[in-house]
Every structure is written in structure tokens, then in C-alpha cells.
Amino acid sequence: MSTLFDPIKIGDIELANRIVMAPLTRNRSPKAVPGPLVATYYAQRATAGLLITEATAISHQGQGYADVPGLYTREALDGWKKVTDGVHKAGGKIVVQMWHVGRISHTSLQPDGGKPVSASAIQAKSKTYLINDDGTGTFAETSEPRALELSEIPGIIEDYRKAARASIDAGFDGVEIHAANGYLIDQFLRSGSNVRTDAYGGPIENRARFLFEVVDAITKEIGEGRTGIRISPVTPANDASDPDAQALFTYVVEGLATYKLAYIHIIEGATGGPRDFQQGDKPFDYKALCAAYEKAGGDAAWMVNNGYDRALAIEAVEKGRADLVAFGKPFISNPDLVQRLKDDAPLNAPDQRTFYGGGAKGYTDYPTLDEAA
């Protein structure tokens, strides 16, 4: 029987344990460049079996929030190289979450102040994070998007490929394709944001086409065993909706089963909210989703996420419901979360006021058990 603290190999990546630090947006990379403070933050948390970085834009067009990092400039990649070097020196493994926000953006963040792009020209009922002239942060309504032209889609897929190659060159152990939480790939997947009538719209197989073309490009560039993907079947995050999520995501995981990926990362329920959240008439059946993936021949590690505490995570691995468990907010305030989970020690409470933006306070100054003692 496997336990949460046992090592595991996922694709081409060897992990010391099955505890994963989930991607967490922190807004501390001005001009999309991660600096020394970011390197310290990730190195502090390197005892996790796997670190997944905050979502990181594959292109300027893919940016949707102020002061989030990118993968498209030399300065940003040099900054990430210092991060990966620090994590590896501390004995950890790290992958980058590759991000195109699509319509979850603002004209002030886009090249030449243009409209954000999406599967369709439907404005999201959502907000983004901007920096005011005085340096303070604020949340603002997302801008109205425009629908991508057919001729533009190959260029975005190429952006994913180039970003994947740049990530490996910057020292990452792999990449995670962000296909969750109402961002661009998810916008193509869901009928609530995709009303196209061409080859990328309509039936499920058309709406999933963009996702699989991205997966093809990335896996051919860096290898299937260094590629993971994140999906969120029923989350309402960023105005994501589809009345038949079970059929949609069953099709998605059956297609993903044809690749020898490192892992499939599943957000159960509403991201950061209720685990039993549902869209449509029936509760989502995650057990059936995993069974469909395995029946189709899929053998990637199955990573679960959303609202897991110590007891639930231990049970999920021991009962074979998951290979990996991702923790989000607990890692913000507990750099030594792995040790605390092993010892069943109390956790530091996070300061929500410092989640987005700022300096070291609420970022790199949380004490470990040893420091607290």
C-alpha cells in the first residue's frame, strides 16, 4: 500500500513524496520577470515532492494579471533559471504551469492595448488584478474579448511549443498545461464560452480540438513524460460553464490517455470553494472519470486538488483514489508543509491580505517548525 510520503516516479520525473504544491498566483514579478524573492519562495518549499509554479504566461497576449511572470522574454527566463537552480540545490523538483488567460484579461495588459482574445466574443463575468499608478493593487472587470480567427490559432499553438522548450532550457523538470479555471483552453472546451461554428466549435470533439493540438505540440517538443495537464471539470471560476461536464471531460481524459503524460491534475468541485459543487443536473462523478481514463489506457499519475487536509490526503493515496495530492493555501504559510503533515503538527495561518502583490511579508517570512521553536 502506498502512502502520501512515499516516493513515486511520474513520467520522466522522480519525486521524493506525493505531496504537491499547487500553482498559486502571487503577483510578485514586475514586468513579468521573477526576481530573487521568487527564487527564495520556491526554494523554501522544495521539500514538496513536486512544486508547480504560479501560472506563467506563454506570451504577452497570454497575460491577464499585473505582475505575474512570463516565459517569453530573456529576462524572465533568466529569472526562472535562478528559481530552478535554487529548487534543485535544495533537492526539489519543479514544473512550470503554462498559461494563456484568453478573455480573462484587460486591455491595459494587452499588446498595444488591444482586446483580449477568446474562443468567442463573450465577455466573462469576472475580474482581473491591476496595479494603480500609486503602486497599490485593485481588482477590475475583465475587458470585452474578440474571437480568435482561424488563421491565428496555429500561432498560439506555436507560442505554447516555444514556451515549453524555453521552460526546459530554463531548468524546469517539466511543464503543466493550464487547461482549467476558465482560461483560454477551457474557454474553447466549454459551451458557455465557445459558440463557434467552425472546426473549433459545436460538438465536443471540435471544442476539444485546441486542447489536443496544444498537447501534441508540447509533447513533441519536450516529451510526453515531462508534460502534465490541469483540468477543472465543474469549476465556475472565471465564468466557466458547461451543462454536460461529465461527457465533455470524459472525452478529454480518454483523449489524454493516448499520451504517456507525467500526470493529470484534477480540481474537484469549485476552485478554492466547495468540493461538492456541480454544474448541470447531476453531481460530477470523479471516480467514473478516472475509470474512463484508465479504461482508455491512460497510466499517468492521477493528481487531486481542492480542499484536501491531512486526513483526506492520506486516505486518498492509501485507498488508491489518487497518486498525488496538491495543496494550495497551506503551502503559502507553511514552507515546511511536508514535515508538518508528517508530524501532524499545527499549521501557520495565512495572511490573506498579502496573497496578491507586495514584498517579503506574507511571502517568504513564514516560520518553519524549527524557526518557531
Structure confidence by residue, pLDDT tens digits, 113-122 = 999 999 999 9
Report, as an integer, the average pLDDT of 233-246. Answer: 97
pLDDT above 70 covers a percentage of the chain that reads 100
Question: What is the band of 132 on the pLDDT scale with cuts at 50, 70, 90?
Answer: confident
Query: Average model confidence (pLDDT) for the chain?
Result: 97
Q: What is the pLDDT of residues 40-57, one digit of tens each?
A: 999 999 999 999 999 999
pLDDT at 170: 98
pLDDT at 136: 83
Residues forming the active site: 183
40: phi then psi, degrees, rounded to nearest 5:
-65, -45
Is residue 151 classed exposed, middle or buried when 0-12, 13-18 and 19+ CB atoms within 10 A define those classes? Answer: exposed
pLDDT at 15 over 90: yes
pLDDT above 90 covers a percentage of the chain that reads 96
Question: What is the band of 208 on the pLDDT scale with cuts at 50, 70, 90?
Answer: very high
b/e for 246-268, b at 16 or more Cβ within 10 A?
bebbbbbbbbbbebbbbbbbbbb
* Inter-residue contact 155 to 103 (CB < 8 Å): no
Least confident of 177-186, 256-265, 273-282, 359-368: 273-282
Would you state the cell numbers that stand for residue 72, as one nine-digit string?
Answer: 517569453
pLDDT at 258: 98
pLDDT at 147 over 90: yes
Domain locations in the chain as residue ranges: 8-372
Would you state the cell numbers that stand for residue 336, as one nine-digit string?
Answer: 515546511
pLDDT at 82: 98
**Integer angstrom CA distances of residue 176 from 107, 225, 330:** 26, 11, 21
pLDDT at 80: 99
pLDDT at 312 over 90: yes
H or E stretch at 212: helix 209-222
Report, as an integer, the average pLDDT of 52-69. Answer: 97
**Integer angstrom CA distances of residue 354 from 23, 41, 212, 365:** 16, 14, 37, 11
Q: What is the pLDDT of residues 253-262, one digit of tens each?
A: 999 999 999 9
Question: What is the band of 187 on the pLDDT scale with cuts at 50, 70, 90?
Answer: very high
pLDDT at 137 over 90: no
- 8-372 folds as TIM Barrel (3.20.20)
Helix boundaries (H) for 61-148: 74-89
pLDDT at 1 over 90: no
Question: What is the band of 193 on the pLDDT scale with cuts at 50, 70, 90?
Answer: very high
